[in-house]
Amino acid sequence: MIGLMTNDSSIDAVDLALLAALQDDASLSWAALGRRAGVSAPTALRRVRRLEAAGLIERRVAILRPEALAAALGHGLTALVEVALERQDAATLQAFERHACAEDAVQQCYRVSAGPDFVLILTVADMPAYHALAQRLFTAALQVRAVKAYFSVRRAKFHPRLPLPTAGPAAV
C-alpha cells in the first residue's frame, strides 16, 4: 500500500494506475480502464466511484485545443495577471477570490505569497473583452491596489496532469 490516505482508506497501486489512466483519457470505457490498471471492469468502476466519493477526483472534463477552435471562434486572448490588494485581511482576500472565481473568463485563480496577492489566468475573446473584464474585476470597491498583466503570444505547454508516485501495473 502507498501511504497516501483518503477519509476512509489508503490509495494503493491500483488506485494510482486508475488515476494516471484517467488523467490521460477520462473517456476510457470501464473495461479499457481496468485493463490499464490490471483489474476487471467492475473493479475499475467500483474503485473510481470510491475515489470520486473520497474527493480525489474533482471532475472529468474534455480539454479543448484553442488552436483548433481558432478558425471558428477567433484566437482569443490569454492573460496572466498579478493582482495586489490594498489590504490582506481574510475578509478582503476572500471577497476578491469569490468575485474573481465567479467570472467565467477566470480559468485559474491562485492566492500567492511573496509578491502579489493573486495570480489569475484569464481567457477572453479579444482586448475589448479583457478591458470589460478588468473593469469588473479590478475596481476600487474590491480593494485592488495594483494589476500587472502579461498577454500570451504562444502557449508552449498546457498539461493539467498531476504528478503521481509511480506505481507500475497493478496486480489484483
Q: Are residues 80 and 32 in the same domain?
A: no
Q: Are residues 139 and 79 in the same domain?
A: yes
Whole-number Å distance between alpha carbons of 112 and 134: 20
pLDDT tens sequence across 1-10: 444 544 556 8
What is the tally of structural domains in the chain?
2
Q: Is residue 169 assigned to a domain?
A: no
Q: Is residue 61 assigned to a domain?
A: no
Q: Are residues 111 and 87 in the same domain?
A: yes
Q: Are 29 and 76 a contacting pair, CB within 8 Å?
A: no
pLDDT tens sequence across 8-26: 568 999 999 999 999 999 9
Whether the full predicted model's pTM is greater than 0.85, yes or no, is no
Q: Are residues 37 and 77 in the same domain?
A: no
> Which residue did the predictor score with more confidence, 10 or 30?
30
Q: Are residues 27 and 101 in the same domain?
A: no
Cell 477572453 belongs to which residue? 124
**What share of the chain in percent tops pLDDT 90?**
73
Q: Is residue 6 assigned to a domain?
A: no
Q: Which domain holds residue 41?
A: 13-54
Q: Are residues 132 and 86 in the same domain?
A: yes
Residue from 143, 84, 138 nearest 111 by CA: 84
Q: Are residues 107 and 79 in the same domain?
A: yes
Amino acid at 29: S
**Cell triple for 60:** 472529468
